[in-house]
Structure 1
Amino acid sequence: MAADSLGYLLGRGAPRAPDRDSLEAWGRALGAVLPRPVVITLEGDLGAGKTTLVRAICVGIGVAAIEAVTSPTFSIIQQYDAPRGPVIHADLYRLRSDAELEMLGWDELVEGAPVLLVEWPDRAVNTLPRDTIHVVLGHDPENADRRLLRIHAPTMR
């Protein structure tokens, strides 16, 4: 049943131009049905809603200390405790080379994290698993209160 819900949320159930409340509701629902392990990338310009969506996903997963879920732009990696294992939140914006990625122990994070949420994934695009769920958020040029949401996901069974 969870896979059916996940497939729905990644397909027809995903809002295409959500306002903040709709984006957060979708993120909470997605977090509640995520399989383990899973890697989700979040792309979009500054202010597009990546960290807002991460926070909502973490609520759905069951992260208790939700106030700790902030953009890890300066720390690069944050870990949040959840009932079914830790959630790793990476913000790769400041990375400039593969060597910096390697110094983070990136391969171990990708292979070992139950849930890995990655902002600015273009810095690590060649190191992500094939079954990564890619979320792209953009500003809606016709309505500043809405975002454009695109999802590229493997077939979820």
Structure 2
Amino acid sequence: MNKEITINGLDSINEAAKEFVNNMGDAKVFAFYGKMGAGKTTFIKAICDCLGVVDTVTSPTFAIVNEYQSDTVDYPIYHFDFYRIKKLEEVYDMGYEDYFYGGGICLIEWPELIEDLLPEDAVHVDIKENEDGTRSVKF
């Protein structure tokens, strides 16, 4: 995929998320790269809304992974935040394979900390804040 979506502000984030969801194809694992404050969590929340998640979407900073159910898709949606991972053993211990290869959608923040464990077909998503305050999402 070589797509770019511009998020002009919070008022247009849902349209950007819809465009992202419409371009997800059959991919299941999405690795979100971006600096602290780039908007990864906020964009993932909007994606979850578009996927019909009824639960409150929060950053799984301390839990590492949150699982959400959806009104519109028949599989779970997993939201990971690996920011606090200190060693890969923690990821092995949580049974990452069950998530990454289990058929659900995986939305991953801070994937650079577990890069070696990402599936080969994981979609690399870059989120960057532009000087004018907009965000660019490239995937």
TM-score, normalised via structure 2 length: 0.86
Residue number in structure 1 paired with 2:54: 64
Unaligned runs of 5+ in 1: 1-6, 152-157
* Secondary structure at the counterpart of residue 100 of structure 2: helix
Task: Using the aligned pairs only, state the percent identity.
Answer: 31
Letter in 2 for 1:76: I
Q: Which of 64, 67, 75 is matched with 1:85 structurally?
A: 75
Unaligned runs of 5+ in 2: none
* Deviation of the 1:125 alpha carbon: 0.9
CA distance in 2, matches of 1:20, 1:133: 24
* Deviation of the 1:31 alpha carbon: 2.6
Alignment partner of 1:137 is 2:127: yes
* Deviation of the 1:34 alpha carbon: 3.5
CA distance in 2, matches of 1:92, 1:113: 20
Residue number in structure 1 paired with 2:61: 73
* Secondary structure at the counterpart of residue 102 of structure 1: helix
Q: Which of 29, 37, 42 is matched with 1:52 structurally?
A: 42
CA distance in 2, matches of 1:74, 1:113: 24
* Deviation of the 1:21 alpha carbon: 3.3
Q: Is the 8 A contact 1:31 1:58 kept in 2?
A: no
Deviations 1:5-50 (A, max 9, x none): xx6xx52xx3246433334312133235644561011111121110
Residue number in structure 2 paired with 1:30: 20
Between structures 1 and 2, the one with greater helix share = 1
Q: Answer with 130-139 or 47-56: which moved more.
A: 130-139
> Cα RMSD over matched residues?
2.0
Letter in 2 for 1:78: N
Higher relative contact order (CA closer than 8 Å, sequence separation 6+): 2
Q: Are residues 56 and 73 of structure 1, via their aligned partners in 2, closer, same or farther at CA, if it must alter by over 3 Å?
A: same
State the number of aligned residues. Answer: 137
